A = this chain, B = another copy of it.
Amino acid sequence: MKRKVTLKQIARELDVSISTVSKSLRNSPEISEDTRQKVQAFAKLYNYRPNNIALSLKNKKTKTIGIIIPEIVHHFFATVIGGIEQVANENGYNVIVCLSNESFDKEVINMEMLATGSTDGFIMSLSKETEQKKDFHHIQEVINQGMPVVMFDRVTNDVLCDKVIIDDQMAAYEAVDYLIGKGFKKIALVTTVDYVSVGKLRTDGYINALHDHDMAVDDTLIVKIEDIEHCEEPIAALLKTQKPDAIFAVNELFAVTCIKQANKIGIKVPDDLSVIGFTDGIISQYSSPSITTVSQNGEVMGGRAAKMLIDRLELEEENELYKTELIETHLVERESTTTL
């Protein structure tokens, strides 16, 4: 049986990265002449078929939208998909979902796969690794070939395309401002490492809110979590050594972990500690106490992204003017916060 060789197989055979293969096949000047020739010869030998999107696009529409997201066990992304589905279906479009699992290589492979005739355009949120590498050639490539891309939530300024984001910095600012208004003085931040764009923006919002109230930023009150699977320890250490009176956590898993760890060492939420999370998911609703949180409106975000993509797909002429839409957030007050 004749099998089509994949980018991944070529990369493995030649012991180079998937990105190198992808760029070589596109004659990118970033790749050395030698490597380019080697990759192209190999691809030719094994009948690698690059996508002829530009050609096929002129002739047919698949009426399908490709979604590429970092992960699926995450209520926020699930609600965004819900929002996309609804608007897509109303407009006669189908939706296909692929996961990057936070991997750059998987993101490239998924785009390549979907771009080869399966979809008319993309709605995507960047993988952590892609944000870290700052390598967006795969996205630029599909846009150059005439397939529109709408980015949401985790976006980059390095690619010109439509985007839907929340004002992460402002949302974080408002959450911290709310805590300051309730009288808290020792407000900790549990956030992600800086290369996750939304984590960085929310951190900035936290710092700005403190500044605007003439409160000092105390680095010992800021915990940057590298790996969400292992956030218990640094959070427990924060609670024990710094004894904050309030915490702003940049996602709901961090928030619920703060509450669980506080319980363990006898700190009561909200009596001894107020906690605000981010993302209004099922954990925030069902944890006990239920969690005060910044709602990201994932469904609205997904719907808006779908609308932007479909509008662009159905334009008769190309429009080089790209928009970035801001989705409103709001604070959902629940049981995990009180007044000092």
- What residues make up the interface of A, taking CB atoms closer than 8 Å to B? 1-4, 6, 8-9, 59-64, 72-73, 75, 78-79, 81-82, 85, 89, 92, 94-99, 101, 106, 109-110, 113-114, 117-118, 256, 260, 282-283, 286-289
Copies of this chain held together in the complex: 2
Contact partners of A94 in chain B: CB under 8 A = 98, 109-110, 113
Contact partners of A1 in chain B: CB under 8 A = 61
Distance, CA A298 to CA B59, complexed state (A): 42
Contact partners of A4 in chain B: CB under 8 A = 60-63
Distance, CA A4 to CA B117, complexed state (A): 13
Distance, CA A178 to CA B60, complexed state (A): 59
Do A92 and B59 have beta carbons less than 8 Å apart? Answer: no
Which of B72, B96, B256 is close to A286, meaning CB atoms less than 8 Å apart?
B256
- Sample 6 A-B pairs with CB under 8 A, ordered by A number: A2-B59, A4-B60, A72-B97, A97-B97, A117-B117, A256-B286
Contact partners of A6 in chain B: CB under 8 A = 63, 92
The A interface, classified by DSSP as helix, strand, loop or mixed, is mixed
Distance, CA A72 to CA B74, complexed state (A): 10
Do A3 and B61 have beta carbons less than 8 Å apart? Answer: yes
Distance, CA A82 to CA B73, complexed state (A): 8
For A59, A96, A106, which residue has the most chain B Cβ atoms within 10 angstroms?
A: A96
Which of B3, B109, B113, B282 is close to A60, meaning CB atoms less than 8 Å apart?
B3
Nearest 8 CB-CB pairings of A with B: A288-B288, A97-B97, A73-B78, A286-B287, A72-B78, A3-B61, A283-B286, A118-B118
Q: Closest CB of chain B to A239's CB: distance in Å? A: 18
**Closest B residue to A77 using CB positions:** B72
Do A2 and B101 have beta carbons less than 8 Å apart? Answer: no
Distance, CA A75 to CA B6, complexed state (A): 32
Do A99 and B92 have beta carbons less than 8 Å apart? Answer: no
Q: Closest CB of chain B to A200's CB: distance in Å? A: 26
Which of B79, B92, B117, B287 is close to A287, meaning CB atoms less than 8 Å apart?
B287
Knowing that A4-B61, A96-B114 touch, tell me 14 more A-B residue pairs with CB under 8 angstroms: A1-B61, A2-B59, A3-B60, A4-B62, A6-B63, A9-B92, A72-B78, A73-B79, A73-B82, A96-B96, A96-B97, A96-B113, A288-B288, A288-B289
Do A99 and B85 have beta carbons less than 8 Å apart? Answer: yes
Do B96 and A98 have beta carbons less than 8 Å apart? Answer: yes
Distance, CA A301 to CA B96, complexed state (A): 22
Q: Closest CB of chain B to A54's CB: distance in Å? A: 14
